[in-house]
């Protein structure tokens, strides 16, 4: 059913459930998985001014993503990773379009039922509302 999955990651513990579901879905459907980590850039600060800092974050992210790629490869699932710099929501949506993603698998968390509007600023919900493809929010 799905051919191209996108899994945005922030390397928190809650990502494990999304990774597991993406792995199982990709194995079942023969899909390819792109693991994405967005390094949020600091607004109003020139990229070059912070480049050493950003490159250290990129190296750490690459090491963590490679461990996950090895896990997908061991399960005979085609996977690759992308690290981009920018704003998280916009970067996720842009890559989803560019990669012709047909499912985004994204970690999320529970929103307070008594104050649901407070959850509207959460990245996962913004992606779910704005994405042009299905989004599976994993809690």
Domain map (residue ranges) of the chain: 4-138
Q: Are 124 and 8 in contact (CB under 8 A)?
A: no
**Residue 98 predicted with pLDDT over 70:** yes
Strand partners, 32: 4
- Quickly count: other Cβ atoms within 10 Å of residue 100's Cβ: 10
DSSP code for 45 = S
Exposure string over 40-77, b if 16+ CB within 10 A, otherwise e: ebeeeeeeeeeeeebeebbeebeeebeebbeebeeeeb
Strand partners, 40: 86
Which architecture, in CATH terms, is 4-138?
Answer: 3-Layer(aba) Sandwich (3.40)
When pLDDT is averaged across residues 121-138 and rounded to a whole number, the result is: 93
Nearest to 107 by CA among 12, 14, 5: 14
Q: What share of the chain in percent tops pLDDT 70?
A: 95
Beta strands in the chain (DSSP E): 4-8, 32-40, 79-86, 103-107, 135-138
Residue 116 — pLDDT band, cuts 50, 70, 90? low
pTM here is 0.93
């Amino acid at each position: 059913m799905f051919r191209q999955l996108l899994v945005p990651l922030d390397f928190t513990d809650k990502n494990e459930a999304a990774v597991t579901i993406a792995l199982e879905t990709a194995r079942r459907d023969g899909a390819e998985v792109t693991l994405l980590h967005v390094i949020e850039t600091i607004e109003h600060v020139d990229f070059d001014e912070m480049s050493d800092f950003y490159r250290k974050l990129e190296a750490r992210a690459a090491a963590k993503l490679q461990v996950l790629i090895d896990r997908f490869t061991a399960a005979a699932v085609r996977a690759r990773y992308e690290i981009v710099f920018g704003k998280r929501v916009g970067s996720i949506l842009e890559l989803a379009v560019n990669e012709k993603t047909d499912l985004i698998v994204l970690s999320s968390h529970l929103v307070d039922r008594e104050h649901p509007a407070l959850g509207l600023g959460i990245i996962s919900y913004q992606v779910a509302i704005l994405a042009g493809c299905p989004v599976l929010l994993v809690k």
